[in-house]
Amino acid sequence: MSAVLRVEDLRVAFDTREGLVQAVDGVSFAVAPGRTLGIVGESGCGKTVAATTAMGLSRGPRVRVSGRVELNGEELLGASPERLRALRGERIAMVFQDPLSALHPLLRVGDQIGEAMRAHRGRRGGISRAAARARAVELLDQVAIPDARRRADAYPHELSGGMRQRAMIAMAIANEPRVLIADEPTTALDVTVQRQILALLRRLRDDLGMAMVLITHDLGVVAETADEVAVMYAGRIVEQAPAAELFAAPRHPYTWGLLGSMPRLDAPVGAALTPIPGRPPSLIHPPSGCRFHPRCPYVQERHRTDDPPLEPVAGAPGHRVACLLPEAERRELWARLAAGATPQQARAAAGSAGGERSA
Amino acid sequence: MSAAAAPPPLAEVERLVKRFELTRGIVLRRRVGEVAAVDDVTLAVREGESLGIVGETGSGKSTLARILLNLLEPTSGVVRWRGEDVTRARGAELLRLRRARQLVFQDPAGSLNPRKTVGAAIADPFAIHGLLPERTARGRRVGELLEQVGLDPALANRYPHELSGGMRQRVGIARAIALGPELLVADEPVSALDVSIQAQILTLLRELRRELGLTLVLIAHDLAVVRHMCERVAVMREGRLVEVAPVQELFTAPREDYTRELLAAVPRIPGPAPQAPQSSSSSST
């Protein structure tokens, strides 16, 4: 399956008063039609910037962008603003975390969706106001808003959070885009509503054959929605794998840390979390060597100077990891952690089992 | 499980109702109805336990907590503290209650005065209650509190905006435990924080509870967080109490459909959990 969206060696830096913020630092990924890539990470890891840059939204005199973003083979980073505007919405669309700030407060929901269509089909040769309105009702129906005809006349503030998110999704899919980028689409919603919205996104992805990029901090949301997962840390992808593989056999200490940090319903009652010490680094002065090394329980001297590339994991197709620890040692560490060892115990055990490996 | 050994409730609410007026119009404001944010809730918090209150937006969980702490007056019903009716507590009695019961907020940035240093914010409760009048003693206690929540005592001279979200939440907790409260009510204490920082704060709260023998009421929308932290869980919906049960029971054999629905909606993480099964000295039953 060939990718509809392909991002290669994307770098995005912002010139700020405090210094140059390298928000995205050499990120590559590709998504095929009907597939979902989940991008997971904490705030400031660059996940949203990577996505908005792919949409052509990060532009300006203080933004430095390099690399390639291809939509259906067409390069976007160098595209003219007119071309970008044409592609946005029609070929690639985005759903945001907070629909209340993304929707116009003074326009009826149906009119906003109609506007999204008319903007692309052209006011001249395109679609009439009445046809746009009929299509808006159809779209609201498609995103399972009950009583769509009446709701099309509502203003955003008259809808609940879940309904607003549905309305925004309706607007995003109005022109049947090839790629849908959803940035924390359910973070502000209640858990029962979140479940409905995720199911809706999955259904639309399948019905319309869209490629989807789902950006989230929530590993559970990713597990239920994504086919493939990229874990980002400090502007880089540190691990990438098919979703099932990532959760069954994660290979990066940061991924272990995230998994150890999340309370979950299948853990024994009373189990202790294993928090990652410290906090995400500054992107103005990122740590030398491996960027995770100041927080990594398995750090070794050379990790402070050597910068690990994202490399394939032997014997695991599609699994890549950026870590300087030898693969055998990482396998050993994960086996111990998965059995309930603390990082300190796992490290001691793996060290004595592996002995002194010469580099 | 037998009621005989149950310790007396530390705090309790009985037949609690809180109604808010619904109004329409800005200039010609008129009453168009009422909403019962809390609707006939009876609930007891036992001394030493950690009780979770879960519910979705508008379930009334935060309103209930505020009434429990006398920060909001109920429309009807009774609030008790150690068996004593404190529903309409005023003056010195209220001050005494404030000292015994503290609140940790969701948004530590919004609950700290941006113009006050961290040290001054933590020392505030001492000033309000006329404790530790001597400056050096107060400063020493502030340093101890910062250390207790895992912060460098030197941070006392910094301002809230110089700290990260996780550090600010630690300051909020230091302030809440400054007067040695018996009950700590934490309202969504980690929902604004990153995953790795959430785990740090939850672990800190668990440690403090054990060290200080605190009773904890944790209000959260995240069921996994409540399961991790609490021994008993109350489920609320639209102002009403749906179900109260020990944590194990609630998560394995919920009695109510709504609880089942909530549980089913939580996204599951597959694969093994790299978490130590070690229990926190298991003060639970």
Q: Alpha helix locations (H) across A122-240?
A: 129-142, 148-151, 161-172, 191-208, 219-225
CA B5 to chain A, closest CA, distance in angstroms equals: 22
Contacts of A276 in chain B (CB under 8 A): 196, 199-200
Taking only the tens place, the pLDDT of each residue in B216-236 is 999 999 999 999 999 999 999
8 A C-beta contact, residue A323 and residue A308: yes
Work out the pLDDT band at A359, boundaries 50, 70, 90.
very low
Dist CA A72 CA A4 (whole Å): 5
Number of domains chain A is built from: 2
pLDDT at B285: 32
| Biggest alpha carbon–alpha carbon distance for chain B | 61
- Locate tokens 């290979």: which residue? A251
Domain range spanning residue A154?
Answer: 100-172
Considering only CB atoms, B199 lies closest to which of A244, A265, A273, namely A273
Which residues sit opposite B240 in a β-bridge? B237
CB contact under 8 A, B248 and A269: yes
Domain range spanning residue B230?
Answer: 8-265
Write the CATH number for B182: 3.40.50.300
Secondary structure (3-state) at B143: helix
Contacts of A257 in chain B (CB under 8 A): 196
Output the six-digit token pair for A266.
């299948």
Instruction: Kindly state the average pLDDT of the residues A293-319.
Output: 96
Share above pLDDT 70 across residues of chain B, in percent, rounded to a whole number:
94
Phi, then psi, of A30 in degrees rounded to 5: -145, 145
pLDDT at B123: 93
Which of A131, A146, A172 marks a domain boundary?
Answer: A172
8 A C-beta contact, residue B223 and residue B230: no
Taking CA atoms, what residue in A is nearest to B198?
A261
pLDDT at A355: 46
Contacts of B260 in chain A (CB under 8 A): none
Taking only the tens place, the pLDDT of each residue in B233-255 is 999 999 999 999 999 999 999 99
Q: Is residue A30 in a domain?
A: no
Residue A354 has pLDDT above 60, yes or no: no
Residue B63 has pLDDT above 60, yes or no: yes
Contacts of B256 in chain A (CB under 8 A): none
Q: Is residue B27 in a domain?
A: yes
Which of A172, A201, A218 marks a domain boundary?
Answer: A172
Does any CB of chain B come closer than 8 Å to the CB of residue A187?
Answer: no
Dist CA B250 CA B233 (whole Å): 7
Taking only the tens place, the pLDDT of each residue in B81-109 is 999 999 999 999 999 999 999 999 887 77
Dist CA A135 CA A236 (whole Å): 41
Mutate to test the interface with A, among B54, B162, B196 (most CBs of A within 10 A): B196
Does any CB of chain B come closer than 8 Å to the CB of residue A280?
Answer: yes
Q: Is residue A349 in a domain?
A: yes
Considering only CB atoms, A266 lies closest to which of B198, B206, B273, namely B273
CB contact under 8 A, A280 and B194: yes
- Locate tokens 């008129």: which residue? B30
Q: Is residue B275 in a domain?
A: no
* DSSP result, B64-85: HHHHHTTSS--SEEEEEETTEE
Does any CB of chain B come closer than 8 Å to the CB of residue A194?
Answer: yes
pLDDT at A270: 82
For chain A, the 3-state helix, strand and coil shares in percent, each to the nearest 5, are 40, 20, 40
pLDDT at B276: 78
CB contact under 8 A, A340 and B276: yes
8 A C-beta contact, residue A53 and residue A29: no
Considering only CB atoms, B203 lies closest to which of A198, A266, A273, namely A273
Number of domains chain B is built from: 1
Work out the pLDDT band at B31, boundaries 50, 70, 90.
confident
pLDDT at A96: 87
ipTM above 0.90, yes or no: no
Work out the pLDDT band at B283, boundaries 50, 70, 90.
very low
Task: Please report how the helices B118-128 and B135-148 are oriented relative to each other, as an axis angle in degrees rounded to 10.
Answer: 120
Work out the pLDDT band at B280, boundaries 50, 70, 90.
very low
Q: Which stretch, A1-5, A86-90, A227-231, has highest mean pLDDT?
A: A227-231
Cα–chain center distance at B170 = 14
Work out the pLDDT band at A123, boundaries 50, 70, 90.
low
pLDDT at B3: 52
CB contact under 8 A, A265 and B166: no
Type and span of the H or E element at A236: strand A236-242
Those residues with Cβ within 8 angstroms of residue B87's Cβ, 6 or more apart along the chain or in another chain: B73, B74, B77, B78, B79
pLDDT at B7: 60
pLDDT at A58: 78
Mean residue pLDDT across chain B: 90
Q: Is residue B283 in a domain?
A: no
Considering only CB atoms, A194 lies closest to which of B265, B271, B282, namely B265
- Locate tokens 């409540």: which residue? B226
pLDDT at A125: 53
- Which tops the pLDDT comparison, B72 or A124? B72
Does any CB of chain B come closer than 8 Å to the CB of residue A105?
Answer: no
How far, in Å, are A45, A262, B32 from residue B171 at the CA level?
25, 23, 42
How far, in Å, are A30, B30, B198, B239 from residue B37 at the CA level?
48, 19, 28, 5
CB contact under 8 A, B274 and A272: no
- Locate tokens 């003219």: which residue? A80
Does any CB of chain B come closer than 8 Å to the CB of residue A262?
Answer: yes
pLDDT at A352: 66
pLDDT at B284: 34
Type and span of the H or E element at B110: helix B108-111
pLDDT at A102: 80
Which of A172, A206, A229 marks a domain boundary?
Answer: A172
Q: Is residue A332 in a domain?
A: yes
Q: Is residue A325 in a domain?
A: yes
Taking CA atoms, what residue in A is nearest to B229?
A270
Mutate to test the interface with A, among B269, B278, B280 (most CBs of A within 10 A): B269
Taking only the tens place, the pLDDT of each residue in A229-256 is 999 999 999 999 999 999 999 999 999 9
